[in-house]
Structure 1
Amino acid sequence: MLPRPPLRRSARRPAPRRVFGMALGLTLLALLGLALPGLSGPAAAAPTEDDEADYVVIAGAAGLRWDDIDADRTPNLWRLAERGSIGSLSTRSAHVPTCPGDGWLTLGAGNYADRTGVGDEPADEARQQDPDLAEQCPKLNVPIEQPDAFGAFLPDQEAVVERQRELPYGTVPGALAESVRCTAAVGEGAAVAAARSFGRVDRYHPKLPAAADARKALSECLLSIVDLGAIDGRTPSARLKQAAAVDRLLGQVLAARPKNSTLLVAGVADTDRSSRLHAVIADGPGWQGGYLTSATTSRAGYLQLVDLAPTALDLLGREQPKKIMAGHPAALADGRPADLGQATAAGADADRRAAAARNVSAWFFWLLALVQIALFAAVVPLLRRSYRHAGPTGPTPPPQRLVSLLEVLLTGASLALPAALIAGIVPWWRFGRRGLIFGLVTAGITLLLTFVTVRLPLFRTRTLGPVGMVAAIAATVVGADLITGARLQLNGVAGYSALEGTRYSGIGMVGMGVFFAGVLLTAGTLCYLVPHRNRPLLVSAIGAAGVLLVGTPALGADAGGAVALTAGVCLTAALCPGGFLKFRRLAWAVAAGAVVTVVFALVDVRQPVEQQGSLGRFLTQLSDGTSGPTLSRLGGANRVALVTSPLTVLALVSAVFLWVVLMRPWGGLKRLYGIYPPIRAAVAGTILASIVGGLLGGAALNVAGAAAAIAVPVLTLGAMRVLGHAADRTRVVEEPAAERARVVEEPSPAPVRVAEEPAAVSADTPKTVSAT
């Protein structure tokens, strides 16, 4: 047996304490950037105490959207929008879609509520008999009793309260009315919102009285809620007539509103089975111009239905019951165009895009999962044929054209998600056949990215070339989107929808998986450009930049995702030197991750409430005892995502493919890991980060599925190349002097011994290999 060649000086490993000390220092420097004033989130300002209103009037119209508002047909709404502050309202409730009963109840509770199925059985029977009504929400069918001349009573309120106790949100019907001394309601929907938890409505009018009586009705209480009607027409002409009727009733409200009052006009619910974004307008002291926003959305121009109750209480100077209300008071944000027509067109366009993306995303992710699973199945026989055991005989190598075709297909499959994000640049949702146009745009971008990738020299000459290039593209696309305001992810097919009401800014769950895989695989590939002892430092530096992008409120705005990526970076840094993972190295990695997590939590929790990320808000809720509903919602979201998402299927199939196929001796992944230890480290870090990020974000395995869509196809490609290069047994190519110095040549027919990583399996520097 030949003596083992000595390791070069550059290959000696420094003490883990020094390596992780430098890594921790870089990561902490990135985290300190979160405290800079310029990175604290979008500029927003709530009205001051001088702008507090004596009265607040909430006027709701189920189904009101921005494309219903016009200067000629709805002049009152138009003038109100010109003078006041505007936004797009997400009417998320505990029921999908948010029908009028759900919307009015959510408004009055300040939390996600569900009234469907309580008191509307006759409507349900009619809808079952008429197929045309099946796509429409049931109309309000609320029994209202008037035991006296002042107020009213809802006899089914007890059943409504019991229904909310079955939900994980901690919703208390009537929380808004219970927070003020007196509430007046005009109309059936307003009675649902203004009813206290035991069913009493303080002041009730079935219809808005005329003239002086209307002024008295809206000034009897500090808070008044008015039902303007519903816009549920299925044809454009029917919607125009209903919008005009809503506008005429709003004109009466404007004429009767008390002095020094703030008026909130909102489309409080959907009227059909397709969830949409609705119009919201605030007019009064301190609400002149600008966009509406809140800490719930952290996006200029977007508000949630649960924000209206806290906004009304804030305007009246009342304290919000945070333990039972999920929203936050509205604030003003800059960025609204001077031309109202342009602003309303942007709101209508956002509504169309969100609705189209929600419909297209269902089949897109299933198609992506099926295509990748089919590619995995097609690769299995090729891997078995590429595996060359020792000896003069063995399986016939697969045709090179077939190998090249599968390499291109695998590369394209890995680039499909970044291409879907880039497709948001093209306004595909404005055309007729939206799904077809999105598919063609995404396919074209995927082909372009694949062509550029396969034409680069690194793709053809380096074993890890495809892995590094695909990972770099994925990380760059998501990173650039975060830096420019996450416009591609908002209401994007591969992003998140404002209709779901879970995220409006920063990085989404799909983008998180793409970014995690891109950052860590890029770091693992670049490890071969630096000396052996500096690899953990390089991984930590790249990871720190990724953590900064994910966790900064003005960029990724996801402290939980930053914690997950920190865990992945620490594990990757600990494993990238190769060899066995020693306890001391693992201990320093865990310590670094723990310190970074604590620093992140402290920075986030010290931010103002409207600028906190998900981690800071959870810690705040934990301190004041309101974290129970949040944990319950998080668990429910994880369960739903686990059983309904195609990305879950892709994550599970990818895990089985990795373990059952690629990790077999003929699968090639063990060989790839042995030759390139940083890739093994990057894969381990990606798995850890994506699983933790999904669980913290309520997405279960969706983040892991998105990461698998990027990583597994190119890892399969790398395994194929390793097996293919291992079959080259006698080829000799002249090497650069620097490469020859790293290899110990064997004059005997024994296998080659390599000091660091044997470049014999790399297409650019094959070595002399003798058969045994």
Structure 2
Amino acid sequence: MLRRPAPASTASLLALLALLGLVLSLAGTLFAAPAAAAGPTTEDDEADYVIVAGAAGLRWDDIDADRTPNLWKLAERGSIGSLSTRSAHSPTCPADGWLTLGAGNYAERTGVGEEPADGVTEPDPDAPQLCQKLDVAIERPDAVGAYLPDQAAVVEHQRELPFGAVPGALAQSVRCTAAVGPGAAVAAARSYGRVDRYHPTLAAVPDAKKAFSECLLTIVDLGAIDGRTPAQRLRQAAAVDKQLGQLLAARPKNSTLLVAGVADTEASSRLHAVIADGKGWEGGYLTSATTGRAGYLQLVDLAPTALHLLGRDAPKRIMVGHPAVLADGRPADLDQATAAGTDADRRAAAARTVSVSFFWLLALVQIGLFTAVVPLLRRSYRHAGPTGPTPPSQRLVSLLEVLLTGASLALPAALIAGVVPWWRFGRRGLIFGLVTAGITLLLTFVTVRLPVYRKRTLGPVGVVAAIAAAVVGIDLITGARLQLNGVAGYSALEGNRYAGIGIVGMGVFFAGVLLTAGTLAQLVPQRNRPLLVGAIGAAGVLLVGIPALGADAGGAVALTAGVCLAAALCPGGWLTFKRLALAMLAGLAATVVFALVDVRQPVDQQGSLGRFLTQLSDGTSGPTLSRLGDANRIALVTSPLTVLALVSGVFLWVVLMRPWGGLKRLYGIYPPIRAAVAGIGLASIVGGLLGGAALNVAGAAAATAIPVLTLGAMRVLGHAADRTRIAEESPGAGPMSETIPAEQPPAPAAVSDDTPEAVSGP
């Protein structure tokens, strides 16, 4: 005698709500990221003088003990890092870098009141493309300071940009600023163009020791490294080092020196060297709350660092960076430490070049698979009448199943490819493609050889989802090393993220977590499904939201919304008002908890959600909203993942949701899968909008989920004429009940809270 499965009770959803509350409370206790060892913070440790010395184009591969002894000795005893020179202009040419340094915010000066440099209009195609050289008009109305006549135009230009930069914010935060060289004049000029103390070159300073003691803050232009050949770069690096030697000879006591490659000199962005030397900066890596990654600093962090060293607070409404702090992990051998900086620069540059081709190729391959599977779906559909289309051959079906499985595993494989240092070799794009293809084949082989893959209709969905969630989850737990500067991760060159979960990783993780939850929920009694989905989803929310792991409060809120929707839908049947209300209550509670925890953190430890709420409360959220809108618009029209998201949505709706598409039958037999897909759609769209990525998160989620969902639809169509024996509900009963051949197709059974589910499997 058959026993009806008990309907999903309100108690299960209330238990889900309680579970989410418990998990979010735990997240609150863990939300603050482990603090790095701070730099000088007491009055005794503050510097009497701060000198910022910049050299456009300076990278770690320009520094060694023989050619640049002064830079080498400074790096040996000081703290070091890799500097991202992001500005409002891409690439950050010298004029933009110096202006961004003085503003403490993303600024742009290229093309404002300047003429293009000679010899750049027709570059040699075999040589690296160069940035426009710094060419700024400097007037000397007296023998003390200087005046920049085009500063008014530069200030006005910043108002047209969404960043809210104020040129001269650093100089206006101290009483007196000295500048040596034209680049330093750009950084030290106040908003009305005045430079307090100015010398054209170090050689022109009559009494350097006295000159460096006249103002608390001194900015020095050491020159630029923009050689087209390695030999030219070596000579220019040596010249910069010689200039630094003169500076060190005149450096006042109890001063802190910051040396940085303040800009790019090529048309492609690179990571640059940054060194801090002074009391409290002995050894270690540099980092900041802006990057959250040991060994990485942003150009906008230098101005707040200088003010912090002088015991002054940075103007929060104007400067977006944070003071530098020390972090552990630097190798004792400086050769090893500088090699790591050089390797990070090469990897970031290579990944940026390869990523566009990879994602377009992935989109084209998946679109081709979707096109090829349409006739097979139509031929697999069994009509209820006595005749129907000839079913496709089993070999063709098996081949397409393997290809669809591999397509879903391509993004996890691209993340794993970061284990192999492909960027260190020639023809890096080809090597990355071969490594990724090999890992994809290996993951696909392991997946198809598993018994659950062959014997269970949902086997491919569950295995692929578990692999996707595990790859991203393990990477987050181990420090997100695969995503940093990875092709399927995020680039330190872009300056948007340096740690935690990235846009592509977020889409893969959302799809993996929710499909895994949906597959496992099908194995438990109906009344327990919301609790299981909530438990798995809560673990995913923690991984995404905790700063020491995923470091994305907005992504955690988005995943919470998807988990709550999936939990409400997973029992099957109609989505009742009570279930919807409880799901919305759980999502609202999660959002409030994350918002309150984040906004109560110190300003330099807040995540994106907390910073936005703080800006909203003090009326400075306009630039953030403008930047978010611009980022979403750019991502929407330029990314191949947007194309993949749109094509996947059309394929899902126009093909898979047709009677012959198989997805409706899959949803009817396995309601938790329908719930998971709805949750993925909601989470990925919300996560993309909150992260300024438009449909990129949805595209990554679709690339992971849609191929295996298509595979599942093919399998249920292949068994559409089988009669199913409905098993009595028990703790061990699952969706893969025994199938019995039937002389005629059974009548379709409606699935609701009060009726047993029809189950089918190969």
Q: TM-score, normalised by structure 1?
A: 0.94
In structure 2, how many angstroms separate the alpha carbons of the residues matched to 1:734 and 1:758? 10
Q: Does 2:471 align with 1:472?
A: no
Q: Pick from 105, 112, 120: which aligns with 1:118?
A: 112
- Pick from 6, 13, 18: which aligns with 1:11? 6
- The question of whether the paired residues in 2 share the 8 Å contact of 1:53 and 1:262 is answered with yes
Which of residues 120, 135, 145 is equivalent to 2:129? 135
Distance 2:81 2:734 in 1: 65
1:718 aligns with 2:693: no
2:360 paired residue among 344, 366, 369: 366
Q: Is the CA contact (8 Å cut-off) linking 1:459 and 1:466 kept in structure 2?
A: yes
Q: Residues 702 and 335 from structure 1, CA distance in 2 versus in 1: closer, same or farther, beyond 3 angstroms?
A: same
SS of 1:228 mapped into structure 2: strand
Match of residue 670 from structure 1:
664
Q: 2:308 aligns with which of 301, 309, 314?
A: 314
Q: Is the 8 A contact 1:416 1:446 kept in 2?
A: yes
Partner in structure 2 of residue 543 of structure 1: 537
Partner Cα distance (1:590, 1:311) in 2: 43
- Distance in 2, matches of 1:62 and 1:621, equals 33
Identical amino acids, percent of aligned pairs: 79
Q: 1:173-252, aligned counterparts within 5 Å?
A: 173-209=167-203, 213-252=207-246
Q: Deviations over 1:680-701 (max 9, x none)?
A: 0000000000000000001000
Matched residue, 1:751: 746
Correspondence for 2:37: 44
Structure 1, residues 113-148: CA drift from partner, whole Å, max 9, x if none?
A: 11111133242x742244468811010110111011
Distance change (3 Å), C-alpha of 1:739 and 1:623? closer
Name which of structure 1's ranges 356-365 and 749-758 shifts more when overlaid on structure 2.
749-758
On the 8 A contact 1:24/1:596 being kept in 2, the answer is no
Cα deviation, residue 563, structure 1: 0.2
Residue number among 576, 581, 587 corresponding to 1:582 in the alignment: 576
Matched residue of 2:121: which SS? helix
Which residue identity does 1:504 align to in structure 2?
Answer: Y
Give secondary structure in 1 for the equivalent of 2:522.
Answer: helix
Q: Which amino acid aligns with 2:248?
A: L
How much does 1:361 deviate?
Answer: 0.3
Structure 1 position 682 matched with structure 2 position 676: yes
* 1:57 counterpart (51, 59, 63): 51
Between stretches 151-160 and 43-52, larger displacement belongs to 43-52
Q: Which residue matches 2:587?
A: 593
Deviation at 1:46, TM superposition (A): 3.2
Instruction: State the 1:746 CA deviation.
Output: 13
Distance in 2 (alpha carbons) for counterparts of 1:548 and 1:564 = 12
* Secondary structure of the structure 1 residue equivalent to 2:587: helix
Please state which structure has a larger fraction of its residues in helix.
1
Q: Is the 8 A contact 2:270 2:349 kept in 1?
A: yes
Q: Alpha-carbon deviation of 1:309?
A: 0.4
1:452 matches 2:446: yes
Q: For residues 288 and 567 of structure 1, what CA distance do their matches in structure 2 show?
A: 46
Cα displacement (A) at 1:753? 7.2
- The answer to whether the Cα contact below 8 Å between 2:49 and 2:254 also exists between their aligned partners in 1 is yes
Tell whether the 8 Å contact from 2:483 to 2:489 is kept in structure 1 after alignment. yes
Look up the equivalent residue of 1:20 and give its one-letter code.
Answer: L
Is 1:512 paired with 2:491? no
Change (3 A) 1:736 1:609: closer
Alignment correspondent of 2:18: 25
1:626 Cα deviation from its structure 2 partner: 2.2
The question of whether the paired residues in 2 share the 8 Å contact of 1:298 and 1:611 is answered with no
Matched, 1:635 2:629: yes
Q: Is the 8 A contact 2:725 2:738 kept in 1?
A: no
**Aligned partners of 1:357, 1:94: CA distance in 2, in Å?**
22
Shift of 1:734: 12
Structure 1 residues 25-62: Cα deviation after superposition (integer angstroms, max 9, x where no partner): 22222222234369623533232222111110000000
Tell me how far apart the structure 2 counterparts of residues 719 and 740 of structure 1 sit (CA, whole Å): 19
**Deviation of the 1:7 alpha carbon:** 5.0
The one-character-per-residue Cα deviations of 1:409-464 (angstroms, maximum 9, x if unpaired) are 00000000000000001111111111111100000000000000011111111111
1:604 deviation in Å?
1.6
The AA in structure 1 aligned to 2:432 is F
Question: What is the rounded CA distance, in whole Å, between the counterparts of 2:204 and 2:133 in structure 1?
Answer: 26
Within a 5 Å distance, the mapping from 1:474-513 to structure 2 comes to 474-513=468-507
Question: Equivalents in 1 of 2:120, 2:703: separation in Å?
Answer: 42
Q: 2:413 aligns with which of 415, 419, 423?
A: 419
| Structure 2: stretches of 5+ with no match in the other structure | 750-754
Q: CA deviation at 1:290?
A: 0.8
| Contact 2:366/2:407 (8 A) holds in 1 | yes
Distance 1:736 1:23, change over 3 A: closer
SS of the residue corresponding to residue 135 of structure 1 reads coil
Output the CA distance in 2 between the equivalents of 1:541 and 1:134: 53
Quick one: distance in 1 between partners of 2:254 and 2:121?
A: 48
| 1:265 alignment partner, SS class | strand
**Structure 1 residues 81, 211: closer, same or farther in 2, change over 3 A?**
same
Change beyond 3 A, Cα 1:748–1:214: closer
CA distance in 2, matches of 1:630, 1:574: 34
Q: Distance in 2 between matches of 1:321 and 1:547?
A: 34
1:743–1:758 CA contact under 8 A, matched in 2: no
One-letter amino acid matched to 1:387: Y
- Structure 1 moving runs of 4+ over 6 Å: 731-750
Tell me whether 1:342 sits opposite 2:336 in the alignment: yes
Shift of 1:625: 2.4
DSSP 3-state at the match of 1:95: coil
| Residue aligning to 1:693 | 687
Unpaired runs of 5+ residues, structure 1, are 764-772
CA–CA separation in structure 2 for the residues paired with 1:41 and 1:56: 28
Note the C-alpha offset of 1:584: 1.1
The answer to whether the 8 Å contact 1:127/1:134 transfers is no
- In structure 2, the residue matched to 1:84 is 78
> In structure 2, which of residues 240, 257, 261 is the aligned counterpart of residue 263 of structure 1?
257
DSSP 3-state at the match of 2:212: helix
- How many residue pairs match? The answer is 753
Q: RMSD of the TM alignment (CA)?
A: 2.3
Structure 2 distance, partners of 1:96, 1:304, is 15
Between 38-47 and 375-384, report the one with greater CA deviation.
38-47
* Structure 2 match to 1:767: none
Letter in 1 for 2:21: L
Residues 287 and 396 of structure 1: CA distance in aligned 2, closer, same or farther (over 3 Å): same
Question: Comparing 489-498 with 24-33, which one deviates more in the overlay?
Answer: 24-33
Contact 1:641 1:702 in 2 (8 A): yes
In the alignment, residue 674 of structure 1 is paired with which amino acid?
G
| C-alpha displacement of 1:629 | 1.2
Report deviation, 1:219. 1.4
Q: Identify the residue that residue 293 of structure 2 maps to in structure 1.
A: 299
Indicate the residue corresponding to 2:761 in structure 1.
Answer: 762
Q: Quick one: distance in 1 between partners of 2:372 and 2:550? A: 37
Q: 2:752 matched to which residue of 1?
A: none
* 1:89 alignment partner, SS class: strand
3-state SS in 2 of match to 1:146: coil
* 1:649-664 pair list within 5 angstroms: 649-664=643-658
Relative distance call for 1:73 and 1:739 in structure 2 (3 A) is: closer
Query: Which range moved further: 567-576 or 231-240?
Result: 231-240
1:615 deviation in Å?
1.1
TM-score w.r.t. the length of structure 2 is 0.96
Deviations along 1:285-343, one digit per CA (max 9) or x if unpaired, are: 11111111111001110000000001111111112111111101111111111111111
Question: What is the deviation of 1:620?
Answer: 2.0
Shift of 1:752: 5.8
Partners of 2:428 and 2:446 in 1: CA distance: 27
